[in-house]
Chain A
């Protein structure tokens, strides 16, 4: 976490800082205290905040840390109060800032806070600190340590660092911190005191001064403490040494005695061997030399005892083995000085000791290369080098063992910090033994790769919670340095004739040397691997394959570019990838000049170009012209075909030299994959149509192979296809499966090994026999040049297939569900690329139909059936038709003579999982006539004409809206209505055709499949003359041209839409429209009239008038229109009728009549529904019903 540093120091704090600085200066020069100026007063507010720190409980519980991290991340830390700021620094472990804060405070206060921090932390069993925190806290001490502080810090250290991990502590203190360790005697003393308090006694010994110096320490308490420790240590060591010496002396004595039996002597030798590692070489050398000379038997026993110890402890911890190796090195060297190592048994003894060393050397190297992860089991490379056989010991060994030791020594050097020093030794070994040299060179590369791997080690990744692919960015300078180093080594090995043969390692090393975000440069490749044209085929193939993989998976990604800190934008990245492909291709061309028949390289070039083509089309880095993308795509694919063809030809030349076991179909398979759109990285481009011509070429190339090779290659190809088909772990993509198999069969035809694939394709084809995609026009096949007509696309299928195929799934963009193994499973979107970007199955269908039809027709609209579309019966028994879409089109020109085949991809599930099978319709012949043709078939035309008079009185606007719907395509306006009558009474200013012909839905349930279409026109009528004219003007609506058409005429009365009984309306200056509807003025007159009539005619007439006025002329519903004699006459029907008559507002009954009705109702109910009464006869029921119908109507 990076904090915002305080951008300013408050003035008061600055003053304090100045004062403190001065105060420190005064402390440094105590001779002149009087000259120091008085400290400036501290801002009381700030002082209060500082004092608050002293009362805080210092804790580094994770919850507190997270809280502070949140605060630091969300707020500017400089804006916090001094208290909060200090706490935040403390919890986030920013000890430098803690020190800065402390030194600004008054010394007493800062000391108090510092001591409280240590005390609070030391209180806890787990203070949640790291070693760096304790050292940082030590460095944050405001001024000098007090007497007690090193002890408290030591206690804290003891709680923080486990005893078995003290090597980190040793390492850190050896480097030194601002206050502890290093080389400064004062700091070393402090470190010793801290370590002593922390319980790290062994380490404390290293840092504490010798006793003589300790005795000079003025502080009596400290002096006594350290003296006591050192004395006790010295005594303990002296006691140990004495004990050791006693064991040594006693057993040595036993060994030297002549009269002692064998068993005793062996026991003594073993005991000596056990302590031999603890005996100082200065003690051991004279004793052993003397023993060899005077009592060789005892010496042999001692050496054998050591050998047994080494052997028994071969699996012990590294510390024990290191001691053993040191002891055996000492003994071997002493033997070399005192005896002839070429004679028995000495020669065998030293050989065994050398063997033991080589075993450990291998372990050390294995740890370096990552084969062993537990470092406590491994003797360090430095110790191995120190104990390696050398001098006379080495010289006395047999040459084969010497060579082995040479190799092991090289490996140990590789495992050491200065691994590059091994290169010269490897070259030397290579001179003696080229095989060993090559192996060592490869090991060298492994170590080199490991050392240069920018991947952050797992331990650190886990510690810092970094992602798995976290790596250090390789900067251009680092990269150049890496390449330089690798090329130097490779040149050295090449020169010595020991160039590594495991090219995978070389290429991996080269890849690691490179930045993750940089495309390989030819110059670098040549620097490391030598000139391109002279490059070995396998290494060249490997490097190019790696480059291709990186081009398609790594370098093009912007996140990789960002992680690599390249600062490349999208355009630059696009350019880099293009250059990468270009460079790779030019390398292939360069290599081919030296190897014209390199079929692998040629095939790789084909694959590279296919991938490049896909990249050009699908790249998401830069939005560009789709046409340009397509051009780039096609161009690269064409070039790829050329390379594939050349690759196949080159392979054909080579095949004669190959044994049948070495036959390879890679050249053909690469070509095949390129044609199918399967990229080198496994990515799939589903937009590639099946290219039969090119597939046939692959077959022809294979057939052209000499002799039996042709058949053998075809069979091998077929086997691979079958194996791919049966691969359950990585099944073929459902959209690719059919095409893969069908394409493979074009290549292999009737090869017996493709029998499985053949069966599969036959099965798929059989499925298609029950499904036929069909196109037809919505009427006669002759259409007008400018006439809009419909193409109906449907699927003809068997009833069973209709149920299986679920055609509704293609009519919705919902991915829907597919049944897999009887369980409903949500279908996942395809992980493949298509040139058609579709949202779902319906879009896919739309794009497919558009693609097929647009070259011939202008597509006006495409209407799909609803996903719940039901199949229609066909004339063929057992077959049905499911209508998919109705496409409204117009022929592009008169030359159009057919509806081209349209395709769709049908999805099925077979035993190997889902599969997509393409289906295609046959061509449908049509004729585009230039002369007049009849209108398209249409039925049930309904015309609604609405004269809008709402604005007429205001501005004279008089729009007439004509809306027509039909089962079929609504014809043009002039074919629909006769406008002549209208034009006689009113001028038509203009006609707005709105959106033209609209297909609302497909009627798939009627006798014929037809579109439900709609069309609307708005005729702007000139209302001004009518408004100016006196009285009312009759406006006649245009009448339909055919009797079959139904028409509704509407206009507005006030703001209410009213239906007219006649196709005309009278409007004028004083009217608001509506037939017979009075204007406001005439309303008034009428009401006056009505009032008069009311006075004369009485209330009955009022009711009658009101009824007529409210219902209007077109809705004068009467009881007789509504109530009829029930057809099925029973009690239920009569009761229902009587209930309705009683409740209807249309029926007006007097109260006595109403009561009589209720009585009759009850009577019928009781008679027909009661338990006891007998049922009424039908004639009786009829009588009751007729009676009340008469009364009511």
Chain B
């Protein structure tokens, strides 16, 4: 029986980069956005969603086709805030221990020691999470929920902040394990990524044209957008903490809460839905609305926050009934009609 040791908590303690103390939330947001804009073209909404997730400690699931700069974006944000970043490509043959870590025997001492998996990081990009077997998804989502993992009988806390940004490809279904509703519910936001607009796409190509080569040793490779990520951080974890505190201070009026409850309850009562949202959706809605208010420089939430975030928070938590589906209704349409009735 191993002795219980003090819980090893990995905490990132990067100093504030401003030099003169913590940035204001607005400065923090603007700094990160500016840094991202240098590397990623467009994707403002995704940046905002990642920021919301960061500020609220929720997790984000990005659904989109490959090649939409998901990894680049997350990598850039991690670098911008000086967060530890790891990326895991989920595959069907993965084991839970590949994510959370395992107990291994030390050949020299003969004792068991903990090998920490990639989950021990600040920002984890779980690429194509729906490719992993359900038990791996389960282990991952449990870590997300509990913010700790158990390895060899020891409870290990995950670093703070801890944010998972998972991606899934909506097109391929062969060889994938769709996340069940209960597990989707663990994600605060599910954002559906679209293709960039024409202008943005043109800019992406033009940027690439001027990148040139990166010389290494005697050889060279063409530069990619990853080479444009700046190594120095635009903000620190302390700045992030200040912004998170600001989120907690955002005022939520009674009428807003009432309408959030209305929205959630209507999803449960809709005849077009097999089931509606859990109370977790209401909580997510309010938290995300607060974060959005901070991002937009407000200290109170407005109906606009609700309308803007509803799709990303609600849509993955409802299921359209067979009858409604047969009649051609989609989840988005049902949600739109609920939102229309709300006002």
Contacts and interface: CB of A to CB of B under 8 A. Distances in A.
Interface of A: 866, 868, 1126, 1130-1133, 1135-1137, 1139-1140, 1165-1166, 1168-1171, 1175
Given A866-B322, A1131-B255, A1132-B259, A1169 B300 contact: yes
A1169 B343 contact: no
A107 B256 CA distance: 104
Contacts of A868: 322
A872 to B, nearest CB: 16
B256 A1132 contact: yes
A1139 B322 contact: no
Contact of B301 (A1133, A1136, A1137, A1169): A1169
A1135 B256 CA distance: 11
A1132 B299 contact: no
Given A1165-B302, A1169-B301, A1137 B343 contact: yes
A1137 B303 CA distance: 11
A870 to B, nearest CB: 11
A1166 B293 CA distance: 13
B118 to A, nearest CB: 34
Contacts of B256: 1132, 1169
A1133 B253 contact: no
B228 interface: no
Interface in B261-306: 299-304
Interface residues of B, number: 16
CB-CB nearest 10 A-B residue pairs: A1136-B343, A1171-B251, A1169-B253, A1170-B300, A1135-B303, A1132-B259, A1169-B300, A1165-B302, A1131-B255, A1132-B255
A569 B299 CA distance: 89
B274 to A, nearest CB: 9
Interface string B327-343: 00000000000000011
Nearest to B306: A1132
23 contacts: A868-B322, A1130-B255, A1130-B258, A1132-B255, A1132-B303, A1132-B343, A1133-B343, A1135-B302, A1136-B307, A1165-B303, A1166-B300, A1168-B253, A1168-B255, A1169-B251, A1169-B255, A1169-B256, A1169-B300, A1169-B301, A1169-B302, A1170-B253, A1171-B251, A1171-B299, A1175-B255
Main secondary structure of the interface of B (DSSP, over half): helix
Contacts of A1168: 253, 255
Nearest to A1001: B326
B343 A1170 contact: no
A1170 B307 CA distance: 18
A118 to B, nearest CB: 49
A397 B237 CA distance: 111
Contacts of B258: 1130, 1132
Contacts of B301: 1169
A1132 B342 CA distance: 9
B304 A1139 contact: yes
Given A1135-B302, A1136-B342, A1170-B251, 4 more contacts: A1132-B258, A1139-B307, A1165-B303, A1169-B251
Contacts of A1131: 253, 255
B308 to A, nearest CB: 11
A364 B126 CA distance: 74
B78 to A, nearest CB: 33
A868 B258 CA distance: 34
Nearest to B274: A868
B36 to A, nearest CB: 28
Contacts of B303: 1132, 1135-1136, 1139, 1165, 1169
Given A866-B322, A1132-B259, A1171 B300 contact: yes
Contacts of B255: 1130-1132, 1168-1169, 1175
Nearest to B254: A1175
Nearest to A1131: B255
A1155 to B, nearest CB: 18
A323 B271 CA distance: 98
A1171 B293 CA distance: 13
A1130 B301 CA distance: 15
Nearest to A1130: B255
B224 to A, nearest CB: 39
A1137 B307 CA distance: 13
A50 B342 CA distance: 92
A1126 B343 contact: yes
A1139 B343 CA distance: 10
A1135 to B, nearest CB: 5
A1140 B299 contact: no
A1170 B255 CA distance: 11
B302 A1140 contact: no
A725 B301 CA distance: 71
Contacts of A1169: 251, 253, 255-256, 300-303
Interface in B15-66: none
Contacts of B343: 1126, 1132-1133, 1136-1137, 1140
A1166 B255 CA distance: 12
Contacts of B322: 866, 868
B247 to A, nearest CB: 14
Contacts of A1170: 251, 253, 299-300
A868 B323 CA distance: 11
Contacts of A1175: 253, 255
A1006 to B, nearest CB: 12
Interface in B221-268: 251, 253, 255-256, 258-259
Nearest to A1140: B343
A981 B342 CA distance: 47
Nearest to B326: A1001
Contacts of A1135: 302-304
Contacts of B342: 1132, 1136
A1140 B248 CA distance: 29
B271 to A, nearest CB: 10
Nearest to A1171: B251
A1144 to B, nearest CB: 12
> Which of B253, B256, B259 has most A Cβ within 10 Å?
B253
B301 to A, nearest CB: 6
B266 to A, nearest CB: 13
A1169 B259 CA distance: 12
A597 B299 CA distance: 106
A1174 to B, nearest CB: 11
A1141 to B, nearest CB: 11
A890 B66 CA distance: 58
A1131 B257 CA distance: 12
B262 to A, nearest CB: 9
Contacts of A866: 322
Contacts of B302: 1135, 1165, 1169
A233 to B, nearest CB: 60
A998 to B, nearest CB: 16
Contacts of A1130: 255, 258
Nearest to A1172: B251
A868 B326 CA distance: 14
Contacts of B304: 1135, 1139
Contacts of A1126: 343
Contacts of A1166: 300
